[in-house]
Amino acid sequence: MKITAVGIGTRGDVQPLIELGAEMKKRGHEYRVASFEDFRAMTEEKGLEFIHLDGNVAALTQYLITEYVKVSDFMPGYMKLYRAFPGILDQIADAVKGSDAATYGICSFFVRSACDLHKVPAVRIFFSPFDATNQYSLYSDRRNSLTNGLNYLMQEPGMNMLTMKLFNGWRSEHGLRKWTMLSDYRKQNGEKVLTFYPVSPYLMPPDPTWGSHIHVTGYWYHPDDKGDFKPSPELEAFLKGGEAPLFVGFGRAASPEMKELQNRTLEAIANMHVRAIFQGEQADRSNIHDGDGNIFYAGNVPYGWLYPRVRAVVHHGGCSTTGLGLRAGKPTLVMPLALDQLFYGRQVHELRCGPAPLYVRFELPTVDTIQEAIRDLISGKYDEGAKKAQACLMQERGCEAAADLLEKRFGKV
């Protein structure tokens, strides 16, 4: 079987595709990853073929996270990204050609047009709820409400509108029927499209009304595979130099707002005199007086290696980042900026794995608010919930489950 996975996103979007590829390769399948150059090394380290796509994580983060304030900002951000890198359409089509199946996500649904051209089955992959459900919503705290289901009514029409604006010219040039508002991404040639959620069902329980083509498989990574990572002597010494530290990290988003959040969080940590590993490139360290040596400024450290060694985690709430923290059994404080991060912050809190999220878009939290949330985080009241989540996640084999389903649908070696 020959699978092409198209990954347009941040590390949290692309690494799971690579991990699934490692499982498929182990089973004797051919698996390629088409993505930004940011992910070439990570892909090739797993022995997988890498296909270059124009674009980069910095541009995607700028258009779809940093500039995202409200739901309606997604469409113009998406259009900016594809108009900035027009060559990516033909690159994706070339990558998909000859595949037995090709995967796409929310930032790469042009893959469907490429699949239509080359008569390749498409596979949908989402990292947060996209198919309609009353159980929960990205946009509210309500649970089991008809209103939640109504919130999803614009998802598919939104994709149709973007396809018509951005991709219908390409479709016409290549002899494909133009996409319309009545077209349906959920079906291909009359058949329901295989759909994966590489998320733990503990955090995102599948809706029992979803069809048999939709699968919440568990996370797609091998957290026990740390590669050959070796910490710097300084990081190793810090970890051994006292009680387990807090981890604080905010991903790749860069903006004045994010810089201020990092500064306030760093000040809160310094004021509390807690040991912490801090990842925040925008923070102004010159204003922080850490005479106790309690703060270690970290560069790129694999979370799968680091999280088991810390007391608790504070981060932006990305799907994969959240999963790694809970799989390590760590109480979690989410400070979401955009997209599905608030959803995962709410889920973490509802499962008693951490405090209520501090949503940056509602109001930039004060230093005092951050200190109060961190005190709550490390008070011990969420330890049991985090350990319960860990016990569930440790039983999951998401890559294996997804690989089984791909083989069932498209055939074994």
| pLDDT tens-digit map of 100-148 | 999 999 999 999 999 999 999 999 999 999 999 999 888 778 888 888 8
> For 327, phi and psi rounded to 5 degrees?
-65, -25
When pLDDT is cut at 50, 70 and 90, the band that residue 80 belongs to is very high
pLDDT score recorded for residue 360 = 81
pLDDT for the residue numbered 300: 82
- Name the one residue in this structure whose structure tokens are 């499209």: 193
Cα–Cα nearest to 201, from 36, 367, 395: 395
**Greatest alpha-carbon span in the chain:** 67
pLDDT at position 17: 97
pLDDT of the residue at 261: 87
Q: Among residues of the chain, what percentage have pLDDT more than 70?
A: 93
| Residue 413 scores a pLDDT above 60 | no
Report the C-alpha gap between 82 and 132 in whole angstroms. 27
**SS3 state at 267:** helix
Query: Is the pLDDT assigned to residue 93 strictly greater than 60?
Result: yes
Q: Both tokens of residue 91?
A: 């690159």
pLDDT tens-digit series, residues 198-207: 999 999 999 9
Please say whether the beta carbons of 135 and 203 come within 8 A. no
Q: How far apart are CA 391 and CA 395, in angstroms?
A: 7
Q: What is the pLDDT of residue 306?
A: 94
Where are the chain's structural domains?
2-219+396-410, 233-393
Q: How many CB atoms lie within 10 A of CB 205?
A: 14
Q: pLDDT tens for residues 208-253?
A: 999 999 999 999 986 555 557 888 999 999 999 999 999 999 866 6
pLDDT of residue 172: 97
**15 burial type by CB count under 10 A (0-12 exposed, 13-18 middle, 19+ buried):** buried
Q: Tell me which CATH homologous superfamily contains domain 233-393.
A: Glycogen Phosphorylase B; (3.40.50.2000)
What kind and span of H or E run contains 348?
A: helix 341-350
pLDDT band at 71 (very low <50, low <70, confident <90, very high): low
Look at phi and psi of residue 101 and say left if phi exceeds 0, alpha if psi is from -120 to 50, else beta.
beta
Does residue 305 register a pLDDT over 70? yes
pTM for the model: 0.92
Tens of pLDDT, residue by residue over 266-275, are 999 999 999 9
* Among candidate residues 24, 251, 41, 211, the one with its CA nearest the CA of residue 124: 211
Reported confidence tier of residue 69, pLDDT bands at 50, 70, 90? low
Q: How much of the chain exceeds pLDDT 90, in percent?
A: 72
Would you say the CATH fold of 233-393 matches that of 2-219+396-410? yes
Predicted confidence (pLDDT) at residue 387 exceeds the cutoff of 80: yes
Torsion on CA atoms 110, 111, 112, 117, rounded to nearest 10? 100
Tokens matching residue 54: 């124009």
Look at residue 336 in the predicted model and tell me its pLDDT: 87
Residue-wise pLDDT tens digits, 21-40: 999 999 999 999 999 999 99
CA distance 126 to 130: 7
Token pair 């979690």 is found at 332
Query: What pLDDT sits at residue 222?
Result: 67
pLDDT recorded at residue 281: 66
Distance from the Cα of residue 223 to its chain's centroid: 15
- Beta strand 30-35 pairing with 49-52: parallel
Q: Across the chain, what does the average pLDDT equal?
A: 91
93 contacts 115 by C-beta, under 8 angstroms? no
| Both structure tokens of 377 | 């985080």
Q: SS3 of 325, please?
A: helix
Closest CA to 335 of 410, 406, 251: 251
Quick check: 87 pLDDT over 70? yes
Residue 11 to residue 17: CA distance in whole angstroms: 10
The residue type at 184: D
Distances (CA, A) of 233 to 73, 237, 266, 294, 298: 44, 6, 23, 16, 12
Q: How many helices (H) and strands (E) does the chain have?
A: 17, 14
Do residues 105 and 9 touch, judged by C-beta distance below 8 A? yes
CA angle 280, 284, 285 (to 5 degrees): 90
Of 47-56, 83-92, 294-303, the one with minimum mean pLDDT is 294-303
Q: 361, 345 in Cβ contact below 8 A?
A: no
So what's the architecture of 2-219+396-410 in CATH? 3-Layer(aba) Sandwich (3.40)
